[in-house]
Every structure is written in C-alpha cells, then in structure tokens.
Structure 1
Amino acid sequence: MFHRAQHLLLILTFMLITPLACWAGEAAHGPQAKAGKGPAILLVTFGTSVPSGQAAFVNIEQQVKKAYPNTEIRWAYTSQIIRKKLAKQGTVLDSPEIALAKLMDQGYTRVVMQSLHMIPGAEFHEIYTNGKLFGQMAGGFDKVMVAYPLLSSDEAMEKTLQIVATTIVPKERQANEAVVLMGHGTHHPSDAIYSALMLKAQKMDANMYVGTVEGHPSFDEVKEALVKKGIKKAYLVPLMTVAGDHAMNDMAGDEPDSWKSQLTKAGIESVPVLKGLAEFDPIVDLWLENLKTAMQHVQ
C-alpha cells in the first residue's frame, strides 16, 4: 500500500512549501525603520476549548518567555468557532488580525507571528497573507515576519518523528506493537506532507504509521495495514499541537467511529497517549528554531 512511488511525495511536498521560504511579510516604510516598540511575538494557533489542552499552550509560552524574557508575547486563535465558544465562557481571545491591529495601535513597529500549526496549510497561508498586508500598511509596522509551522522541512519532519519515538511513545512499547500518529488532514495541497511523513515513519520504524482525520493517509488505510500485518496492540498519538477534541473523541473516544473503537473491533488493543506535541519541550524547541530565524530579521 505504501510503495516506492511515495518517494515522489517528498519532492512534491517541498516544492509546495518552498515558495514560502521568504519569511513572509516584510515591509519597510522609508530607508530607515522609525523608532517604535518591539519586536513583539504573536503566537498563532487554531486554538482549543478543551481545558486540559491548555497545558500545551502554557508550556509553549513558558519556553518562549525563557528564550525572549524582555519581549511582549501575545496570543491569537485562528478558529472563530473556538473564539466564540470561549467568549461565552468568559475568555476572550483575539483573531490574528485583531491582535495585529492592537499591536499597531499600541505603537509596536516590528512583530513576528509564530505559526503553531503542524503544516503550512490553509490557515498558515491565511496568516501569511494577512500578515504581509499589515506590513504594507502606510504608517503601520516596519516589519511583520511569519515564522514557519512545525513540519516545514525535511529535517523538521525527521526530528519530529524521532522525538515521538524516543520521548512521547511510552517506554513499554514493544517493537512488534504499532505507533499510529493522528494528523488532522486538510483539503489544501499541503496535505501531501502527511503522506511524506508516513514514508519517513515507515523507514524509521516499520510499525509506525501516520493517519489523518480529514485527509490522507486515511485511517482506513492505516487500519488495513495493521490488520494485514497482524498487529495486536497500537499506541495512538495525536500529531497535533494540543490533545483537544480530535484527540479525545475522534482518536480515543468510546463512540463506535473513534479510532480506538474501530481498532478494538478489529482485534487490536489501543493505548491512547492524550498529550499534545507542544507539551514536550523537544518539540517546542523545533518551533523555537523557526522563531529564532524570524526574530533575526526584526532586530
């Protein structure tokens, strides 16, 4: 099922994201940047309404503050649904655009937007585009930079898989037991990154798989491979910033259509790992590497 032709996916995948390698959204108003506050860091994520998922965001903020102790750090959620849900509970989160407008109004002239998404998909392209437009506004920011999400290079993909295998998967896992990573998946062409990641996972560990909720590889493809190989136990790991609704329900829920329930029905014991990737410092370090590169352009 996962044959040699998938080697082409690695080439195609990075052809898709190469045009993004300009560290988006830089604009200068005149030969010299005007005096102003900054740089500020805007951490941009899809968001979550699951209280336990906040542990991932708390860890990210702690690590960013440690790396940049004297820098203004703000948050923005790209999901309007999540923002509205939290607002009803009394917690107000800004969209990236509102957050940028506030920073501009408060006199910040340089800002780095750090994407906390997994892949450079539709949401990343949206903050990239809008960040660039903010950078082009007359009398506004001198520089707006957008730092890459997690899986944005061949090296980052390999490092992420290594961290999952050595740090996130429980130590008691045996070689004949599977590890199944749950990605979200997307209609965007960057969905191909998950298939490329699957190829790398299989090279690293023949019993490590990557599936997605809404893209490819599909869960049905992964389940078929596990059954065919005679796997009797699988560790389910969310390939997501936080262990939110998808991890708790689609992956580990008790409903008949959850991954855990479907694998159990197929005779495969499932062990969910309900922690988001951002709860692990080595993963956050990969985002910090992207942030560091972007920050060098706004100093």
Structure 2
Amino acid sequence: MKRIKTWILAAMAIVLAVSLNSCDKSEEPITNVERYQQSVDNTVKTGKKHDKVILLVAFGSTWQRAFLAFDNTVAEYKKAFPDYDVFLSFSSAICINRAAAGEHAKDEGEAKAEVRHYYSPNFWLEAFGRVQYSEIIVQSLQVIPGEEYGRVINYMKDFANNSLGDLDDAYLKKVTLRLGLPLMADADKDVKALAKALDANYANYAKQGVVAFMGHGNPDSYDIYKANIRYTQLEEALQKINKNYYVGTVDMKDNFKTFVRDRMVKAGVSKGRVYCTPLMSISGDHAHNDMAGNDVAKTPFQPNEEGEVEDTSWKMYFKTMGYDCSNETQIMNGLLERENVRQLWMNHTKNAEKVDYYHSKNPE
C-alpha cells in the first residue's frame, strides 16, 4: 500500500511538472517583432474594406504637427482613391521607437505630442499578403529618390520574395504590385511641377525677401541614386520664376546653409529679410531644430572641413550674418501641408509603375 501511494505521488509530481512547464511555455513573452506584426495584422484585418490597398511610406517624425499632417494625408488619400484602403508606415526605426516612447509627450504648447505607434513597411506588406489584397501600391513620400527611397524598393522586393516564407506563392505570382515615385523623381517634369507649386505658396514672401528652402539631402556616401542634384535643379527652376528663391540642405555636400549664403552674396544679396521653410514632407526635428532652433555657435563662426557651421540653426546663422531672420520669418509648413504639393505625390500614385519583383527574384 505504501508503495502504491509512492507511485501515485510520483505520478502526480510528473503531471504537475509537465503542467508547469506547459504554463511556462505558454506564458513566454512574444518578441517585439511578433507583437508588431500582430498589431499590424489586426489593424489591416479590421480596416480592410476593399480589395486594393495603398501604403504610404514616410521617413517618420515624433512631432504632433507631423502626426496631424500624416493623418490629414491619409484622409485625403482615402477621398482621392475611394476604391483603396490606405495605411501609413515609417521607414525610420528611430522615429518609430521615439514616437512610441512619446518623445515630445511632455513638451508644452504646440510641441506637445501624442504617443503614437507606427510600424515599418515590412510589417504592413506582410499583413497585406496575409489577407491577400489583389493590388498593392506603395507610395514613397520621400522628396528625392535617395537613400530612403532605396529602402522602400528593398522592402517591396523582400515582400515579393516572401522573406518570411509564410505567404502563398501562388498569390505572390498574381498580386499586382505598384510603386509610386518620390516627389522629384524626374529631373525635368517633376522638378518644374514642384517649382510651380512652391511659387504658388511662397510668391508673396519672395516679393519681400529671400525664401530659403531647407531640404535634407544625402551625404555623398549615401547618395546611392545621385539624387542630390535635384536640389540644385529645383533652385535653378525656382530662380527662373524669382531670383529670391534658394534651396539648401542639412546633409548634401557643398549645399549647406553657408553655401546658400555664398550664392546669395554672389547675387548681391548681403542683407535683407530671409524666410526659412522646410523642403521636407513634414515639419519635424530638422525644421524645429536645424532650421528654426535657437542654437548658435561662438562667433566668429568657424566652418568645419566641409564648410558647414555646426551647432547653429539656419535662423541664427542668417541672423548673425546680418540678415533679418527671426521667429517671424520661419515658415513651418511641411510639404504635405500644402495641398497643391500633396497633389503631386497623388499624381505619382495615380501613375504608379507596375513592378514585377517576384519574377525578377524568382526566375522561372
């Protein structure tokens, strides 16, 4: 009898151990990647109303003004493309993580931002493949076809090649995949169209002084499509309309704010009012800090080896150099906040190119 009791107790211990181990496995926390995919899957499943979808891909931001610009852009896209579902993604992991952490949630006034959860394009494309949309348009919200645009293409190629290995290959063979080009994809048509649209918004400012557009640009080592030239081409197109337009960047060699001023001085503009405005899809960190911030280095300025004055915003640089440049001359609108510029992106969406990345990576 004692032996039977011992066997029973031993059996119970084994069952308990197995049960505990099973509980431990079921309660193991899922990875962030799995959690992100679940969140996007749920959003797509509950939001799916059509058989076709548009994915807008922006670099990203953590500022409330930018969030609202993105919200409005999605809303306007839904109006313009009523047969499509529309979602938005960030390509920048830094922006995704900082937006989720509420980088500006404790700021005061206009800068105070919500906590927002955005996800990178690979999660959205995977979710689209799981619900099997018949047509997917990926629209780049980049200004130039530079480094970030290259990442957009790679996301699409990974999707077409079934990078996770869990999508239906028959579906990938037949799904229509389209790519909407960046704002200044074409050196002639797109640049001229943007110059015309910008002039419609800034002509009154250009009558009163210089309008200095601050683009992003790529450092030489990242200028994979040699797209930096678009900024130079845009300035040339704008100056055919009004000589008071200038276009500089925060990252393009030989086109920092110091080079913008050099061109101004060469043209005889050594004083007067300077309006600064971002040549970026939204008004984010670069607009608030690099352009309109209050940082100023010790004077006289000492440019670095590339000719840029570091730790000094555009506003403070031009002000220090004797121009009328202040908070009042900082125009904070991002390009997506300009209806006629946003329409140029929409035109690219309407004319999105059909791409066959499935067959390009899966030869028959």
After TM superposition, the structure 1 stretch with the greater mean CA deviation from structure 2, 191-200 or 233-242, is 191-200
| Alignment equivalent of 1:147, drawn from 167, 177, 180 | 180
Q: 1:234 to 1:170 in 2, by over 3 A?
A: same
What is the count of residue pairs matched by the alignment? Answer: 260
Please state whether the residue corresponding to 2:194 is helix, strand or coil. helix
Greater relative contact order structure (CA < 8 Å, 6+ sep)? 1
Amino acid of the residue matched to residue 180 of structure 1? A
The aligned counterpart of 1:244 is 284
Q: 1:291 to 1:174 in 2, by over 3 A?
A: closer
Structure 1 residue 38, shift from structure 2 partner: 2.6
Q: Distance in 1 between matches of 2:265 and 2:208?
A: 13
Structure 1 residue 239, shift from structure 2 partner: 0.3
What stretches of structure 2 of length at least 5 have no aligned partner? 1-49, 103-114, 163-168, 297-311, 357-364
Q: Distance in 1 between matches of 2:235 and 2:152?
A: 27
The question of whether the paired residues in 1 share the 8 Å contact of 2:61 and 2:67 is answered with yes
Whether 2:226 is the aligned partner of 1:185: answer no
| Alignment equivalent of 1:175, drawn from 207, 210, 216 | 207
Structure 1 residue 136, shift from structure 2 partner: 4.1
Whether 2:346 is the aligned partner of 1:288: answer yes
Q: Distance in 1 between matches of 2:332 and 2:193?
A: 21
The aligned counterpart of 2:293 is 253
The aligned counterpart of 2:58 is 45
Please state whether the residue corresponding to 1:269 is helix, strand or coil. coil
Q: Distance in 2 between matches of 1:266 and 1:277?
A: 28
Amino acid of the residue matched to residue 189 of structure 2? E
Structure 1 residue 252, shift from structure 2 partner: 0.8
Amino acid of the residue matched to residue 233 of structure 1? R
The question of whether the paired residues in 2 share the 8 Å contact of 1:227 and 1:266 is answered with no
Q: Over aligned residues, Cα RMSD in angstroms?
A: 2.0
Q: Distance in 2 between matches of 1:63 and 1:181?
A: 25
Structure 1 residue 223, shift from structure 2 partner: 1.4
Q: Distance in 1 between matches of 2:344 and 2:206?
A: 27
Whether 2:259 is the aligned partner of 1:221: answer yes
Percent of pairs with identical residues: 28
The list of structure 1 runs, each at least 4 consecutive aligned residues, that deviate by more than 6 angstroms after superposition, is 295-298
The aligned counterpart of 1:66 is 79
Q: Distance in 2 between matches of 1:190 and 1:175?
A: 30
The aligned counterpart of 1:262 is 317
The question of whether the paired residues in 2 share the 8 Å contact of 1:38 and 1:111 is answered with no
Aligned pairs for 1:1-299 within 5 A = 38-89=51-102, 90-137=115-162, 138-141=169-172, 142-153=175-186, 154-167=188-201, 169=202, 171=204, 173=205, 175=207, 177-187=209-219, 188=223, 189-216=226-253, 217-228=255-266, 229=268, 230-256=270-296, 257-270=312-325, 271-294=329-352
Q: 1:139 to 1:84 in 2, by over 3 A?
A: farther
Q: TM-score with structure 2 length normalisation? A: 0.67
Q: Distance in 2 between matches of 1:69 and 1:107?
A: 19
After TM superposition, the structure 1 stretch with the greater mean CA deviation from structure 2, 102-111 or 70-79, is 102-111
Q: TM-score with structure 1 length normalisation? A: 0.81
Q: Distance in 1 between matches of 2:342 and 2:316?
A: 31
The question of whether the paired residues in 1 share the 8 Å contact of 2:137 and 2:179 is answered with yes
Q: Distance in 2 between matches of 1:279 and 1:38?
A: 29
Q: 1:266 to 1:44 in 2, by over 3 A?
A: same
Q: Distance in 2 between matches of 1:54 and 1:86?
A: 10
